[in-house]
Amino acid sequence: MSVLKKVLYGASALALMSGMASAEISGGVVKIGLLTDMSGAYSDVAGEGTIVAAQMAIDEFGGAIGDAKIELVSADHQNKADIAANTAREWGDTAGVDAYAELVTTSVAMAVFEVAKQQNKITLVSGAASSPLTNDACIPTGLHWTYNTRALAVGTGGAVVKEGGDSWFFLTADYAFGDALQKDVTAVVEAAGGQVVGSVKHPFPASDFSSFILQAQASGAKIVGLANAGADTINAIKAAKEFGLVAGGQKIAGLLVFLSDIHALGLDTAQGMQMTVSFYWDRDDASRAWSQKFFEKTGKMPTGVQAGTYSAVRHYLQAIKDTGSDDTDTVLAKMRETPVNDAFAQGGVLRTDGRMVHDMFLAEVKKPEESTGPWDYLKVIRTIPGEEAFGTLEESTCPTK
């Protein structure tokens, strides 16, 4: 019996090795197509910085795996689903792109998911935040790296309710991401015994928030939750300041705030605000070293989306290097069995629903006198374990998990 087993094992190992030897990289090039918002509301959060981050990952491999060159192509999707889907489809059909990366804005990510599903190509989502991407809207090859709205809800929403913020009014960006974020935070607030007294949807992107802020003031809610991101969050916080929302006794909870937003708002305006982040540059030696390199190239410290793009691309390339193949299923299997350890995440696990589970952090914006210089903005007050932030695999409603 045991001899037979050994023979079988040996045979299967041989078969595997011969499989690896014959597998190769299609077209002699590993090509990554990066779609991001280069000019719109999310260009500071993602934008140029994600291209730099992806290039840094490629440079770590010396720009090539074996004989195969690694190429990066990028385009501005202008936050429009149709532009993103058309570009991705053309890249996949004619330009030999092997994987899609970044994809800030949920509607864009969902549109590219449709294309990637048909083409069976790996999609490394960093910027889009909606948790449906690894639940109802999941695809077998879609990987969601940086964060999701559930994690943000658990982090910021949970912390705010704990401090007595038990009545909420939402200002929500009117597309899939805003809906998902509001829904996830509502669940957290209600589970903790709080209540949601109302909400208003604003167009995406919006520049004039005055009427929405007035509605938030009239609602009498203790907490005004901003279920939006990027320039929308900045504009809403500025409008809230002008209308004296905080002076009137209400509090703002920014549900998705990035380091670049704090930089734009300034510590005077943002101090004391709590935010859930996937990455903070000044956390440990690895993150500091990587961020310093990023800073030298861009003049800015990276946001979580940018660091997440680096991590996802690096992990993808590492799997290709380890398997010697760029075949989607082979690479995907390798990516799942290897833990993610880099400047972005430690001990990250890629689940079968596409979710990359890693620790998240609840941070508070420093007071101006606490900050020692530019970009020294946050102090991490709690580490949120991955399972708590993202939930368990059993909770995922992804049909192909």
Partner 1 sequence: MKTSAGYLLALAALLVAPLAFYPILLMKLLCFALFASAFNLILGFGGLLSFGHAAFFGGAAYFTGHALKVWGLPTEMGILFGAGLAGLMGLAIGQLAIRRQGIYFAMITLAMAQMAYFFFVSSPFTGGENGLQGIPRGKALGVFDLQDDLTMYYFVLAICVAGFLLIVRTVHSPFGQVLAAIRDNENRARSLGYDVERYKLLAFVLSATLAGAAGATKSVVFQLASLSDAHWHMSGEVVLMTLLGGLGTLAGPAVGSAVIVTLQNKLATGVLAAWVPVVLGVIFVACVLTFRRGIVGELRAIWRKSF
Output 119 or 271, the one with its CB closest to partner 1: 119
**Cβ–Cβ under 8 Å, residues 112 and 35:** yes
Q: Is 207 in the site for partner 1 (CB under 8 A)?
A: no
Q: Is 175 in the site for partner 1 (CB under 8 A)?
A: yes
Q: Which of 36, 50, 55, 106 binds partner 1 (CB under 8 A)?
A: 106
Q: Is 2 in the site for partner 1 (CB under 8 A)?
A: no
Q: Is 110 in the site for partner 1 (CB under 8 A)?
A: yes
Q: Which of 253, 229, 260, 240 is nearest to 377 (CA)?
A: 260
Candidate segments 105-113, 206-214, 230-238, 284-292, binder of partner 1 by CB under 8 A: 105-113
How far from 222 is each of 26, 237, 247, 333, CA to CA, in Å?
Answer: 57, 16, 12, 47
Residues 6+ positions from 110 with CB-CB distance below 8 Å = 81, 133, 137, 176
Q: Which of 23, 29, 64, 75 binds partner 1 (CB under 8 A)?
A: 75
Starting from the edge strand earliest in sequence, which strands make up the sheet with 29-36, in order?
64-65, 68-76, 29-36, 99-102, 122-125, 142-144
Q: Which of 24, 90, 322, 359 binds partner 1 (CB under 8 A)?
A: 90
Q: Which of 18, 39, 292, 383 binds partner 1 (CB under 8 A)?
A: 39
What beta strand segments (E) does 285-367 contain?
349-350, 356-357, 360-365
Q: Report, in Å, the least distance between residue 268 CB and partner 1.
A: 33
Which contiguous run of DSSP H or E holds residue 378? strand 378-384
Q: Report, in Å, the least distance between residue 201 CB and partner 1.
A: 9
d(CA 385, CA 312): 20
Q: Report, in Å, the least distance between residue 174 CB and partner 1.
A: 6
Output 136 or 337, the one with its CB closest to partner 1: 136
DSSP 3-state of 86: helix
Output 80 or 382, the one with its CB closest to partner 1: 80
| Total residues at interface with partner 1 (CB under 8 A) | 27
Q: Report, in Å, the least distance between residue 97 CB and partner 1.
A: 12
Q: Give 384's strand partners.
A: 360
Output 89 or 283, the one with its CB closest to partner 1: 89
Residues 6+ positions from 146 with CB-CB distance below 8 Å = 125, 126, 127, 129, 278, 279, 304, 305, 307, 308, 309, 312
What backbone torsions phi and psi does residue 96 show, to the nearest 5 degrees? 70, 30
Output 20 or 38, the one with its CB closest to partner 1: 38
Q: Is 100 in the site for partner 1 (CB under 8 A)?
A: no
Output 114 or 322, the one with its CB closest to partner 1: 114
Q: Is 89 in the site for partner 1 (CB under 8 A)?
A: yes
**Cβ–Cβ under 8 Å, residues 63 and 91:** no
Q: Which residues bind partner 1 (CB under 8 A)?
A: 38-39, 73, 75-76, 80-83, 85-87, 89-90, 93-94, 106-107, 110-111, 114, 118, 174-176, 203-204
